[in-house]
Amino acid sequence: MPEADLKILAYLELPQQAVSKRKDRLASWSDICDMHSFFRTAGVGSSPLTRLSANPFATDEVLRFDDVSLSYGRHAEALRRISFHLKPGSFHFITGASGAGKSSLMKLIYMAVKPTTGRIELFGHDVSKVSARDLPFLRRRVGVVFQDFRLLDHLSAFDNAAVPLRISGRKPDSYRSDVAELLTWVGLHDRMNAMPPTLAGGEKQRLAIARAVVGRPEILLADEPTGNLDADMSERILKLFTQLNRLGTTVLIATHDLAMVARSGMPVLHLEAGRLIRRGSGVER
């Protein structure tokens, strides 16, 4: 594996495993241990970080849906009585036709919408009971690649990628080399100063992925992450997701690309008209 890939993988590795298993590789990466991972590994204080940063490997489930329904208005039911749970470090695809409810399911997980009925647990926390003050800290443990990218047009590619780190309080000097290497790794080394409107579709997608993983989330959600990429880049992105998954990150990808799903051999949650009607191996209902 190329040295650049090794460094990126070391950076993206979840802190618990990074500290315990990859210490040798992390020796030159001391600056990547941000406050979040510090609190999580040191277990000090009682800040929202420590309250919400329980080790995902200490629980059997990183995500649980119990009889969850979601309606937009009185008659538009997007999801109907969805129940499933995901184990930490699992990798799943969500498939289904347009309008089947894939994006709605994603929105529920990254807490953009609240379920109409049912219960969602994320990292062992009932999402509906997490206080508004603590919710942002739970969100920081979730990386999201939005279907429409949601890049900030007035920020450079570099600044877009660094958004999660700045929000978590990292100083610019502490993250610029990390972000630069991550952008290099996704093939945007010569586009760091470019503004999003000047980027091609595939470049925007790769930038969105870089932003989603830069904070080393424990669960990574991607809504159609390869929709605008050519075959080579799709393969590379899938490989990135797989590598992240091997490092402990739970990955959930919503996609139309059934060929990619087939190639990966990963389990599938299949939605039809808002119902979860089929699951592949590794998914428990």
Q: Which amino acid is at 103?
A: S
Q: Per this entry, what is the length of the chain?
A: 285
Query: Helices marked H in the chain — which ranges?
Result: 3-12, 15-21, 23-26, 35-42, 48-52, 102-109, 135-139, 157-161, 163-167, 172-185, 201-213, 231-246, 258-264
- Determine, following the binding rule CB under 8 A, whether residue 187 of this chain makes contact with other proteins: no
- Determine, following the binding rule CB under 8 A, whether residue 190 of this chain makes contact with other proteins: no
- Determine, following the binding rule CB under 8 A, whether residue 166 of this chain makes contact with other proteins: yes
Q: Which amino acid is at 27?
A: A
Applying CB under 8 A, among 70, 105, 108, 144 the residue interacting with other proteins is 144
Residue that is written with structure tokens 């979730």 in the block: 142
- Determine, following the binding rule CB under 8 A, whether residue 168 of this chain makes contact with other proteins: yes
Size of the site for other proteins (CB under 8 A): 32
Applying CB under 8 A, among 140, 204, 206, 270 the residue interacting with other proteins is 140
Check if the beta carbon of residue 95 is closer than 8 Å to that of residue 267: no
Q: Which is nearer to other proteins, 109 or 260 (CB)?
A: 109
- Determine, following the binding rule CB under 8 A, whether residue 163 of this chain makes contact with other proteins: yes
Dist CA 245 CA 219 (whole Å): 9
Min dist. Cβ of residue 130 to other proteins (A): 13
- Determine, following the binding rule CB under 8 A, whether residue 285 of this chain makes contact with other proteins: no
Applying CB under 8 A, among 45, 97, 193, 200 the residue interacting with other proteins is 193
Number of neighbouring beta carbons within 10 Å of residue 78 = 23
- Determine, following the binding rule CB under 8 A, whether residue 152 of this chain makes contact with other proteins: yes
**DSSP assignment of 38-81:** HHHHH--S-SHHHHH---GGGSS-SEEEEEEEEEETTTEEEEEE
Interactions with other proteins, residue window 43-102 (CB under 8 A):
none
Which residues here bind other proteins, judged by CB under 8 A? 110-112, 132-133, 136-137, 139-140, 144, 150, 152, 154-156, 158-159, 162-164, 166-168, 172, 176-177, 179-180, 192-193, 211, 215
